[in-house]
Chain A
């Protein structure tokens, strides 16, 4: 009887079959770095599907992300994009949108990056109603840097810098965005794949500051430090505890430790965006002297 030694297996399939999402991904970078059981890959899959269904020209779509686990998404999606410094995804995306108004700009980043380090940019982009789609992946912790306490960590949850439980009240992210003036606010978990895809597809068609918060399991840090099991246990927690309440009052959307998660679409209103307000104001004040930015960008017309 011959026993194969470890590492001598040679019957691996040479060419794996092509995944349907492959045209939207940089397949040379796959498999990605996200942990087994992490939900960020599911969100990327839903976003790619929504982008495909919405019929947006992929040359006119771009994705910007900050630092963190979810910040990697900009590198995996086969779109023009940029992986910015920590917290500065929204400022970069703002410049990109104002410089080339024809682009469909998506910010893909995490809770720590967008509401912690980049919190000020987040509320001011919402206040100005910048024409951005922000996908905020909330795993309640700073995952990539080792599980430090994040602005979204629920009360009494443990993190590596709060080993006896968190005592800081966390952000209620949909309320933060809605009270700052966002035009579209929704929240889903990683398990609501169909609804998340529909919401992203709808949000791609809307204008103004659109926030889609996605709750994702973090099996390596948040779940391990709080003894919540694997990513699959996180998913079954969402299955048992997520409630769908469309149009709920955003003040009631705070997430307590291991309590129910209210999901749904909370805000969907049509408001003039920053660019429209600027064009209208300067067109009125400056008249002929004001030249609005051409859709394809000013640098080609200089």
Chain B
């Protein structure tokens, strides 16, 4: 996420992070989640699902903040986000070379 200035408590705070789960074969390709994702985490993929629609795909895997908007707006019950646990967050940060 981009900030217009670095928050004063940026070193102490970890923002919410989530992972998007897409049930591709239930999707009908309406594009609501892609259009209204506030952080543009999703794009329409070029792959077909079982029914011949293009499901969304995640392009920014660390960008999701678990706001659940895709889950609420999806008319097909085909996408949802789950909170990424803090431990995994720390490990990922450690793997990338510190916060």
Contact = CB atoms under 8 A, between A and B. Distances in A.
Q: Do A and B bind each other?
A: yes
Nearest to A232: B31
Chain A interface category by residue count:
35 or more
Interface stretch (A16-24, A86-94, A169-177, A258-266): A16-24
B28 A19 contact: no
Given A12-B25, A20-B80, A41-B77, A194 B72 contact: yes
A16 B72 contact: no
A36 B72 contact: no
SS class, residues of chain A in contact with chain B? loop
Interface residues of B, number: 24
B59 interface: no
Minimum-distance CB pairs A-B, first 9: A41-B75, A36-B28, A193-B72, A37-B30, A16-B23, A42-B75, A19-B77, A36-B30, A232-B31
A42 B74 contact: yes
A31 B73 contact: no
A194 B71 CA distance: 11
B35 interface: yes
Contacts of B25: 12-13, 16
Nearest to B24: A13
A32 B73 CA distance: 15
A34 interface: yes
A40 interface: yes
A231 B32 contact: yes
B43 interface: no
B72 A232 contact: no
A110 to B, nearest CB: 15
A46 B76 contact: no
B50 A36 contact: no
A232 B26 contact: no
